[in-house]
Structure 1
Amino acid sequence: MAIGKLYIGRKVRELRQQNKATQARFAESIGISVSYLNQIENNQRPVSAAVLLALAERYRIDLADLSGGEDDRLLSALSEALADPMFQAWTPTLKDMKMVVQNAPGIAHALIACHQAYRHNSEQIASLDQSLGQGTALAENTPYEEVRDYFHFVDNYVHELDLQAEKLATRLGIGEVDLNAALTGFLEEAHDIRVIRAARGDDMIRHYDADARVLSLNPYLPAQTRAFQIAMKIAQVEAGAAIDAIAGAVGFRTAEAREICTIGLQNYFAGALVLPYRRFMDAARELRHDLDLLTARFGASLEQVCHRLSTLQRPGMKGVPVFFAKIDRAGNIIKRHSAAKLQFARFGSACPLWKVHQAFEMPGRIVRQLAETPDGVRYLSVALQVSKGGRGFRQSQQQYALALGCEVSYAENFVYADDMDLGNRAAFDPIGISCRICERQNCPSRAMPPVKSRIVVDHENRDILPYRLV
C-alpha cells in the first residue's frame, strides 16, 4: 500500500531518545538536516518515504511499527468523548485532535478519563443511585473498564509474556503433538501438579487444591476449554512473577483492577501458549485465515483463534491488522480490539446495520459482509455464533456472536473474500460505529440522534426518520 502523510514526531523523538542520540547525531545518521528533524519531531512536517526507509535500515525497525495504529485508537476514543454535548461550546477540528494525540497523548488520556467519570456520575444521578454522596468513588472508572482500557492501549499485545509463552510452546512441541497430553504432562513433570476430572459437573470449571497439588476440571468441558484451563494453571506457576510485575507497574487505582488485570494476563499467556506466535501466524497466512481449519490444526476454540488473531502485533513481525469483537444478544460488546482503522464505540451498542447481529439467526454458518464506515474506509467482516455454558438438559447456554474482519486492502489474505465483489463500491453496506456518534443523515436503523446534531421536526412531512438532523 502507498504510504500517506505520516506525522509521527513523538515516535521519532522516542526512538532518538532510546538510542541516547542528540538531534544532530540522529539527523546525521538518517541523512537529513537538524532543522528538518526538529520539524518532524514537532509534527510540523510529515516524514517522507526516504526518511522512513532510512529509519528502518539504520535502526532495524519495522515500518508498520511507525504507523498510526496506537494513535488511531486514541483518536477514536478522544473523538467520541468530545462528541458529548457538554463540549458543544467548543468543537475541535479533526486536525486539532490529531495534534493533541500526536504531541500530547497524556492529555488525551486524561480527558478521556475525565469524560468517563462525568458519564458515570451522570448515569448514577439519573438513576437516583443510593451511592450518591460517597465522594470521589463516583468519579472513578470501574475496575473492569480500567483493565479494558489498559489492554486496548497496549495494542492487545504483551511482549514479555508472548515471548515466554512461545518459548515454552516450542519446548513442548505445541502444534505438533496432542495439546492436552502435552500440557498435562508438563504440569505433572515440571510442577508435580496432577490434572483430574472432577466428580462434580455443575458450574465449577476448575478447582486447584494447593495442598494435594491437584487441578480438577469439570468433566464435561470441551477439549479446547480443558486445554485452555490447564494452560491458565501453567501461566500461574510459570509466569506468575512476570504477570505480577506487569500488573503492578500499570498503576491501577484499585486492588480490584489489579486482580482483574492479573486474570487477563494469565488468559493472555494461556492463549499465547496454546497458539504460539510464529507458528500460529504462519498457519494463518498459509490457511488464509480459515477459522475452521485453524481451530482444527491447533485444537483451539473459535473464540481463542479469533482473539489470538487480534493480538498478532509483535514489533517487526505483525500479522494482518484485524478487528475482533464478541457481542451478546443485546448488542453489548463484551470483548473488543482493533488493529485496523475501525474502532469500536466505548459506550452504547454496535451498529444494527452490521451483520454480526445476523449470526444469532444462522448458528453454525459464517455471515459475511462488505461494509463502509462514514469515513469512507471499507472492510471485509465475517461473523459467527458460538455457544458457551454447561452440558446437559438443565444447564443454561449463552450465545455470543464473534466478529472478525480487516480493511479491504488486506481482504486477499482471507478465504472468505474469494467470491465477493471487492471492486464494486455499491456492494458495501453503510455502517456506523454507534448511533450516538454516527452522522449519517437518513439511516432507517437509527436508534437515537447523534449527540452533536440538532433536531428539526417538520409536522407536515415525514421521511425515514421523524426528524431532520442539522
Structure 2
Amino acid sequence: MQTGKLYIGRRIREIRDTAKLTQATFAERLGISTSYLNQIENNQRPVSASVLLLLAERFGVDFSSISTNDSDRLLSMLSEALADPVFSAHSPSFQELKLVAQNAPSFAQALLTCHQAYRRNSEQLASLDDHIGSRATEPTPYEEVRDFFHFVDNYVHELDVAAEQLAGTLDVPNTDAHGALAGYLDTRHGVRIRRTEPGDEILRRFDPSSRTLFLNPYLPAATRSFQMAFQIAAIEHEAQIEAIARRADFRTADAFDVCKAGLRNYFAGAAMLPYQPFLLTAKELRHDIELIATRFGASLEQVAHRLSTLQRPGQKGVPVFFARVDRAGNITKRHSAAKLQFARYGAACPLWNVHQAFESPSRIIRQLAETPEGVRFLCIATELAKGGGGFGTPRPRYAITLGCEISYARDFVYADGLDLTSKTAYDPIGISCRICERANCPQRAVPPLKSRLTVHRDRRGILPYDIS
C-alpha cells in the first residue's frame, strides 16, 4: 500500500474532543481557519507538516501516536473481504475504502465480522456439515482473541510496565533469568520449583495446595523461564488480566479464557525481555536476533515476537511484522506493525521466504520482497523445533519470519551486503493468491477472485488461463 498525504481527520477530531474545544477555538489555537480544520477532520484535505508541528507544540501530541497503521490494517482487510465474488456487483474505489477505514472503523469491523460469518456458513454448507447453527455464524475463540491483539497493536501497556518493573527488581537481563525467577517465586510466594515425573509430557503444572510448580526438565531453559514468569502473572496480576479481558467484551467464555492465557503469555514475554533494555539492545545489536537471544537468555521466537510488540507511545521500536508458519503453510501466530498484512483466509504467498526455511534447517534466510502495491520489505526467516527430550521424542518443526519496510532495513544487520536499490533484487510477493492480481506468477495456486479468466484451446502459458 503506497504511503502518501496524511489524512487523519478522525485522530484530529479525537485530539480536539479530548481538549474539550470547539472547532473555532481549536482552529484559532493552531492558527488556521475553521473551514480548513473542518476539511481536515472530514478527510477532505491532508494535514500539513506545519499543523503537525503546532499540534506537538500546543497540545503535546506525540508524533508517534499519529499513525495510519490501524487504517492500513483495516484497509488491507476490507480490500481482501471485498474481493469475494459475493460483492461482485459493488466495487468501491480505493479512496472510498480509505475513507471508510479512516472515518468509520467500527462500521468497517462490523462489515468484516459479517463477511467472516458468511464465509464460515458457506464453507460448512459446501461440506454438508450437519451442525450448522448459531455458533457457525460467530468467529472462533482464537479468531476473536487474535483480532483483539491485532487491534491493540500487540501491545498491552499495563502488563508491559508491570513486567518491566518485575524485571528491574530481578535485574534482568544482567542476571540469570531462570535462577532469578525461581528465587522470586520461592521467597515472595512460597512456590517451589520441581521436576515433572519421567514420562509426563506436560510443560507446566501448578499445585495450589502444595504451592509447587512442576516444570518439564527437558525443556530449554528459555521455555522454563517463560513458564515461571507465566505463573507469576497468574499469581500477582490475575485481577488486572481479567479486567483487560473483560473490556474486550468477547462473545464467548472460551474467548475470554483464551485471552487471559494470552495476556499471561504477554506478561511472561515482557518480563523476560523488559521493554527499555530490550529496545536499547535491539538498536545496539541492529536487531541480530541470535545475539539478542543470547544476551537475554531467550529463544529466537521469543525475541522475534517481542520485536513486534515494541509499540509503547513515545518509545516505539522499528515497526516489524512477525509470523510463525507450520509445514502445511498455516500461519499459527502473526502480528504486523508494518504495512505488510497477513491473509485472514487461505495460505500465505508461496514466494515468501518463510516457506524456504524448512529446506535449510537452523539457517537464517534473507529476502528482499515487493508487494503488488510497490511496498518493499526486508524479510528474514528461519526453521526451528519445539520441545525437548531424548531419541524418538516428537519435535514439532515450524518456521518464524520477521521483517520491516525497506526504509528501516539499515537498522538490521541482515541488510548488510544486499543491494537495496536494485529493482531486480526484489522478489514479487503478495498477501495470498485469492486477492493477488499478478498475472504471471509461476506459483499461483488459485485464480484471483475478482478477475476474469480466459482459457485458450490452442495455447498454454505458465498458467492454464489468462487473467484479465
TM-score, normalization by structure 2: 0.98
Q: State the match for 1:454 in structure 2.
A: 452
Q: State the match for 1:241 in structure 2.
A: 239
| Aligned pairs (5 A) from 1:258-337 | 258-337=256-335
2: distance between equivalents of 1:58 and 1:175?
Answer: 39
Q: State the match for 1:69 in structure 2.
A: 69
Q: State the match for 1:388 in structure 2.
A: 386
1: distance between equivalents of 2:414 and 2:376?
Answer: 15
Q: Give yes or no for the alignment of 1:123 onto 2:123.
A: yes
Cα distance, 1:26 vs. partner? 2.1
Counterpart of 1:142 (choices 137, 140, 143) is: 140
Cα distance, 1:58 vs. partner? 2.3
Cα distance, 1:99 vs. partner? 0.5
1: distance between equivalents of 2:184 and 2:27?
Answer: 51
How many pairs are equivalent?
467
Q: Give yes or no for the alignment of 1:191 onto 2:193.
A: no
1: distance between equivalents of 2:299 and 2:421?
Answer: 33
Matched position secondary structure for 2:369: strand
* AA matched with 1:113: T
Structure 2 gaps of 5+ residues are none
Runs of at least 4 residues off by over 4 Å = none
1: distance between equivalents of 2:239 and 2:277?
Answer: 26
Q: Residue by residue, what CA displacement relative to the aligned partner does 1:335-374 show, whole Å, maximum 9, x if unpaired?
A: 1111111111111111111111111011111100001000
Q: State the match for 2:100 in structure 1.
A: 100
Given that 1:200 and 1:219 are in contact with CA atoms closer than 8 Å, whether structure 2 keeps it comes out as no
Q: 1:53 to 1:295 in 2, by over 3 A?
A: same
1: distance between equivalents of 2:295 and 2:199?
Answer: 28
Q: Give yes or no for the alignment of 1:468 onto 2:466.
A: yes
Given that 1:232 and 1:266 are in contact with CA atoms closer than 8 Å, whether structure 2 keeps it comes out as yes
* AA matched with 1:289: H
2: distance between equivalents of 1:21 and 1:205?
Answer: 55
Q: 1:37 to 1:406 in 2, by over 3 A?
A: same
Given that 1:201 and 1:220 are in contact with CA atoms closer than 8 Å, whether structure 2 keeps it comes out as no
* AA matched with 1:245: A
Matched position secondary structure for 2:396: strand
| Aligned pairs (5 A) from 1:22-101 | 22-101=22-101
Q: State the match for 1:377 in structure 2.
A: 375
Cα distance, 1:401 vs. partner? 0.5
Structure 1 gaps of 5+ residues are none
2: distance between equivalents of 1:142 and 1:457?
Answer: 39
Q: 1:150 to 1:400 in 2, by over 3 A?
A: same
2: distance between equivalents of 1:444 and 1:3?
Answer: 29
Q: Residue by residue, what CA displacement relative to the aligned partner does 1:397-421 show, whole Å, maximum 9, x if unpaired?
A: 1111100000111000000101000
Matched position secondary structure for 2:309: coil
* AA matched with 1:115: H
* AA matched with 2:207: D
Given that 1:121 and 1:139 are in contact with CA atoms closer than 8 Å, whether structure 2 keeps it comes out as yes
Q: Residue by residue, what CA displacement relative to the aligned partner does 1:283-302 show, whole Å, maximum 9, x if unpaired?
A: 00000000110000000110
Q: Give yes or no for the alignment of 1:111 onto 2:111.
A: yes
Q: 1:175 to 1:148 in 2, by over 3 A?
A: same
| Aligned pairs (5 A) from 1:153-168 | 153-168=151-166
* AA matched with 1:189: T
2: distance between equivalents of 1:148 and 1:464?
Answer: 37
2: distance between equivalents of 1:404 and 1:106?
Answer: 29
1: distance between equivalents of 2:422 and 2:379?
Answer: 16
Q: Residue by residue, what CA displacement relative to the aligned partner does 1:150-178 show, whole Å, maximum 9, x if unpaired?
A: 11111111111111111221122111111
Q: Which moved more, 1:196-205 or 1:217-226?
A: 196-205
2: distance between equivalents of 1:22 and 1:354?
Answer: 49
* AA matched with 1:50: S
Q: State the match for 2:226 in structure 1.
A: 228
Q: State the match for 2:6 in structure 1.
A: 6
Given that 1:235 and 1:266 are in contact with CA atoms closer than 8 Å, whether structure 2 keeps it comes out as yes
Cα distance, 1:59 vs. partner? 2.6
Q: Which moved more, 1:57-66 or 1:309-318?
A: 57-66
Q: Residue by residue, what CA displacement relative to the aligned partner does 1:311-335 show, whole Å, maximum 9, x if unpaired?
A: 0011111100101110000111111
Matched position secondary structure for 1:335: strand
Cα distance, 1:389 vs. partner? 2.4
* AA matched with 1:202: D
